[in-house]
Amino acid sequence: MKVIEPSVIHHIQNGVLEGKDIESYTKRYHEVNYLYEKQREDDPIVYEVYSYSKGKDILGNLNWGLTVLKPVYSHNECNMTKGHFHVNKDCAEIYFGIAGVGLLLLMDEEGHTWAEKVYEGSLHHIDGRIAHRLVNTGDEDLKVGACWPTSAGHDYHAIEKREFGYRVYKRNGQIEFEKR
């Protein structure tokens, strides 16, 4: 029997995804500054996204991904991903907390918003009809793994039309929520 090395390694403890067929991109602050109530003047890296997939975007195929959300604050407002609904509402997703601390903001199609705590080992099942956004409430990188169907699609436009119901701030070490 032939035994081969895996083509991709997810360095869970201290690293990121490495290997063949990995796609990645980096977001800088100016690309997402509209998300925040008050903008920063500088332009740091705010998050990195890695994903791994093989084959086609067909029903039954899967992606594996990693989001690294930096501890960047905009006048006390916590760093967040853009957030999205899935285009295909039948496609759920699993998030997996790897490092750091934060929140998974969840919102249904009527705009009701709630959150789950994210930390090392936390596991989150996200229904296909629920919008999802990660928020870093800590002082180190928030690393979250994800597994989702390649046919799910990302609907960012729906979030621009109806934003999540709360903004998240950290003031004097305390997490605070403000209704939009």
Q: Which residues of this protein are in contact with Fe ion, per CB under 5 A? A: 93
Pull the structure tokens for residue 152: 């799910």
Compare residues 131 and 168 and give the one whose CB is closer to Fe ion.
Answer: 131
Beta bridge partners of 104: 116, 134
- Smallest distance, Fe ion to C-beta of residue 148, A: 5
Compare residues 77 and 93 and give the one whose CB is closer to Fe ion.
Answer: 93
Compare residues 51 and 79 and give the one whose CB is closer to Fe ion.
Answer: 51
Helix (H, G, I), strand (E, B) or coil at 28: strand
Q: Give the integer Cα–Cα distance in Å for 142 and 158.
A: 25
Looking at beta carbons, which residue is closest to Fe ion?
Answer: 93
- Smallest distance, Fe ion to C-beta of residue 84, A: 6
The neighbour count for residue 178, using CB atoms within 10 Å, is 11
Compare residues 39 and 53 and give the one whose CB is closer to Fe ion.
Answer: 53
- Smallest distance, Fe ion to C-beta of residue 132, A: 6
Helix (H, G, I), strand (E, B) or coil at 97: strand
- Smallest distance, Fe ion to C-beta of residue 159, A: 11
Q: Give the integer Cα–Cα distance in Å for 71 and 164.
A: 20
* Residues 143 and 100 sit within 8 Å (Cβ to Cβ): yes
